[in-house]
Chain A
């Protein structure tokens, strides 16, 4: 018995010693040119932040739903319908050793609310448009005031864009150290600093980010001594670097390369369905596309399951509407708003008086995995119901152009609520409406307001069901699928993408990774 115990202790000691010195090399397809959680909502940026920064409110990222827990905030409470107060820990340190204070929290949010740069302004619109002001009540208490009651308070305080940054550090980076200048934010994006379990010790924009364990972290200590994200854009080189032992983990492995990795006894594949939709959308304000029956027909002509089988080996998820399991109680798979029916599509085209002229479909050649292949397949599907497609392959974003007819796009989940995905794209203030390709009715705006700001979950569910029914009739878009994102890694590395994160997050915090 004692011998067994001693052996176990020795094994545990060895394991902890191994982990203590563990390092990881990660090859990514792309890497950001800047690092600032507050101004970034790009897919490539999502890789950078979770390890080096902290939100006020954390959540259990192992589950798709929302189970919130304290992070920098120890507690939070609603003091009135539009006022929340948050108490922060007193022992949280930034990577320069200074303590996090209420002033830092105010600064973090206020630079976004004040739209200190156009990028912060963009984040404000998508995340914090309902936030009126943030004030320090005392050294550890922060008061958030919203314009309307905010049902998503915890969700929003968990978002990457609200990761806390140091006021003194940022304002001291250029010019007058007492004043926040635009140049301060730009220098910060090249010399980022947060509170997370790893500190960023080297950053070459677009090429490498080096993270090292931060020993004064207030939470569970980082399991890795050091890790590096390195951009290797060429897939063949990335795969070889993994097979050759030059890197331990690679991102963006397309489905047709999974067998190559699985065939190597030293390697394995991990993956997950990403909370991001690949969609096609129509310019409803282009007279050619104005008839909803035409748009319904074009959506009904697309066999999404066949695309999934052919392009994603059946690993992607074909959703019934614009909904993710991460929405918790608001996840409503029972709402079926998309249908595959070539016969109905033909009938709708006849009703719409479609004249047989080609419809232009725009796609970037490489931006979306399988994007071009899907467009080529959809061309055949449209052709089968009598609609010729003029496939326009171009790297330019044409989504806001008046002459755009149809194109592909992605709708990522920026935070776990329909407002954080459908809302940022399709709400009355979303990108498609402000971009001019969709003009929903006033009734829709009323539905949206009811959905967005109601604090009653049943009311929100009913309103979202109404919104989905409206979308079905209007058919401004068709959700194709949630892609399956795959990673290649060494067999002795235990890591996988977690269901509770937004897309593409590389979480190497305690409990997320072990190296044998």
Chain B
């Protein structure tokens, strides 16, 4: 187990390095920050002075080396717009995004698993079909369409929910639903399919044959085995949720990491953007690791080894 973790950690570091290099060069290829930061009309000399001040006049390899040096010494850089540490900037935003993630994850799992089970057990009647139709629509609807539609219905027309901001937990309800929708749909689909796969297995027939009640057959034998692919899907969806929160936070004006990344991308705020992408990459890598470890916990047949 320890050897496995060590190898995976090394692989994660290598992945992060590739991400760091990619984001560093990609952001610089997309344009000069000063072309976006300074208002149109600022004279050329001032632009050049600002470029020099932030070290952007140095060869790109020198900039990259300095950036790596900064990472190893714990200096993640200063936001070009706010002129303060990117760690401080993100520290202000992370709680909102985590709150949003938490609600969305809880909503997806709490609703997705039981609905998936019901869809599997009731697959031949209207309930099963209805659940799968909702799941299909939820999966197929782009999140920005769902976000605007929800705002129109629940805020603009019914005045039930606040449309933007982060003042109370209620402000997170609509963004969490929008963020959760594709994940919920995916969990329902996978929970249903994987349960159907398992239900045809011999060991379930054996369980029934020895007289176990159906509740235990499903709850103890079927669900546990069906859970493995579902955990994989949840892991993948957490990564996808990070990407989706970029748009959801922008639409609902939730002051989170996603909104910050949009702002930094438009303004080519390299340090803020780099830190954000590294943060997301780190989260994805850690999630993958956690999913791998969870396999072992769920299925004793799976051995976590170095191979």
Q: Which residues of A contact B (CB under 8 A)?
A: 27, 33-34, 41-43, 118-119, 121-122, 125, 186, 189-190, 204-208, 230-234, 236-241, 243-246, 395-397, 399-400, 409-412, 424-425, 429, 431, 434-436
Contacts and interface: CB of A to CB of B under 8 A. Distances in A.
Interface stretch (B11-19, B44-52, B189-197, B232-240): B44-52
Interface residues of B, number: 41
Given A186-B83, A237-B252, A244 B156 contact: yes
Contacts, number: 117
27 contacts: A41-B41, A118-B49, A118-B50, A186-B84, A189-B83, A190-B82, A206-B263, A230-B165, A232-B253, A234-B250, A234-B251, A236-B151, A236-B152, A236-B251, A238-B164, A240-B156, A241-B155, A246-B162, A396-B32, A396-B35, A411-B41, A429-B43, A431-B41, A431-B42, A431-B43, A434-B43, A434-B45
Interface of B: 31-32, 35-36, 38-47, 49-50, 53, 79, 81-84, 89, 92, 148, 151-152, 155-156, 159, 162-165, 250-253, 255, 263, 266
Contact of B35 (A33, A121, A241, A397): A397
A434 B41 CA distance: 10
Contact of B81 (A43, A122, A206): A206
A238 B163 CA distance: 8
B40 A397 contact: yes
B268 to A, nearest CB: 9
Contacts of B39: 41-43
Nearest to A433: B43
Contacts of A436: 44
Nearest to A434: B43
B104 to A, nearest CB: 19
A33 B148 CA distance: 27
Contacts of A42: 39
Q: Which of A43, A246, A396, A397 has the most chain B CB within a 10 Å cutoff? A: A397
Given A122-B46, A206-B263, A208-B255, 6 more contacts: A43-B39, A118-B46, A230-B165, A237-B163, A241-B155, A411-B41
Contacts of A121: 45-46, 49
Contacts of B84: 186, 190
B53 to A, nearest CB: 6
B156 A230 contact: no
Contacts of B148: 236
Given A41-B39, A397-B36, A400-B44, A234 B253 contact: yes
A234 B162 CA distance: 15
Contact of B42 (A33, A122, A206, A237): A122
